[in-house]
C-alpha cells in the first residue's frame, strides 16, 4: 500500500511546483512557456509575501515523492482563492485530489473565509467534475486565447 502524506508547502518546493505545472500542462494541453512564467510568478509571490495565518499551500507526497499541490490565498477578508491545484498522473484516480481539495477548503473555512473562487479551463474535465461533486458552482465561461491555445476559461465559486 502506498504511503500518502499531505504536508505544508515550503519554499524549497517552488521549483518542483513550477516544473510540474510547466511539464504537465505542455504535455497534456499544449500550453506554451507563458504558462510556466505565470506559475513561477504566482509561486514566487506566494513564498515572498503570503500571510501564514490566512494563506497556505500543501504538497501531497506518495511514498516520499511529491505528486501534487494545492494553495489557498486571500482575495478579500471573506473570499479565498484556490490556486495551483495539480496531481501528477501516477497519483490520479486514488482520491488524493479530493483529499487535497478538502484540506484546502477546510483551511479556508477554519480561517474565517465565507466563500472560495477558482479559475480553470473546461478542458480539465476531471478537475471540473471534482469541483462540481465538492459543492463548487460554475459561474461563467468564456472563449480565450491563452498560453498559445484556444481555451474555454471558467470561473467557479463555493460557499463555505
How many whole angstroms separate alpha carbon 49 and alpha carbon 40?
A: 14
pLDDT band at 99 (very low <50, low <70, confident <90, very high): very high
> Is the pLDDT at 1 greater than 80, yes or no?
no
| Strands 149-159, 137-146: pairing kind | antiparallel
Within the chain, what is the greatest distance between any pair of CA atoms? Answer: 43
Which residue has 513564498 as its cell numbers? Answer: 47
Mean pLDDT of 15-23: 97
Total domains in the fold of the chain? 1
Distances (CA, A) of 51 to 111, 118, 120, 138: 12, 19, 24, 28
Q: Domain range for residue 9?
A: 4-159
70: confidence class by pLDDT, cuts 50, 70, 90: very high
**Cell numbers of 93, please?**
484516480
CATH code where residue 53 lies: 3.40.630.30
Amino acid at each position: 500500500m502506498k504511503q500518502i502524506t499531505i504536508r505544508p508547502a515550503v519554499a524549497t518546493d517552488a521549483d518542483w511546483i513550477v516544473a510540474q505545472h510547466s511539464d504537465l500542462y505542455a504535455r497534456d494541453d499544449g500550453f506554451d512557456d507563458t504558462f510556466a512564467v505565470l506559475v513561477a510568478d504566482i509561486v514566487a509571490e506566494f513564498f515572498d509575501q503570503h500571510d501564514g495565518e490566512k494563506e497556505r499551500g500543501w504538497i501531497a507526497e506518495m511514498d516520499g515523492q511529491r505528486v501534487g499541490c494545492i494553495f489557498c490565498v486571500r482575495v478579500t477578508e471573506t473570499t479565498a482563492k484556490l490556486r495551483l491545484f495539480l496531481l501528477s498522473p501516477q497519483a490520479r484516480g486514488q482520491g488524493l485530489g479530493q483529499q487535497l481539495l478538502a484540506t484546502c477548503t477546510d483551511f479556508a473555512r477554519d480561517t474565517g473565509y465565507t466563500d472560495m473562487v477558482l479559475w480553470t479551463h473546461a478542458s480539465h474535465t476531471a478537475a471540473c467534475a471534482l469541483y462540481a461533486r465538492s459543492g463548487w458552482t460554475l459561474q461563467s465561461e468564456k472563449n480565450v486565447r491563452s498560453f498559445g491555445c484556444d481555451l474555454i476559461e471558467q470561473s467557479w465559486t463555493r460557499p463555505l
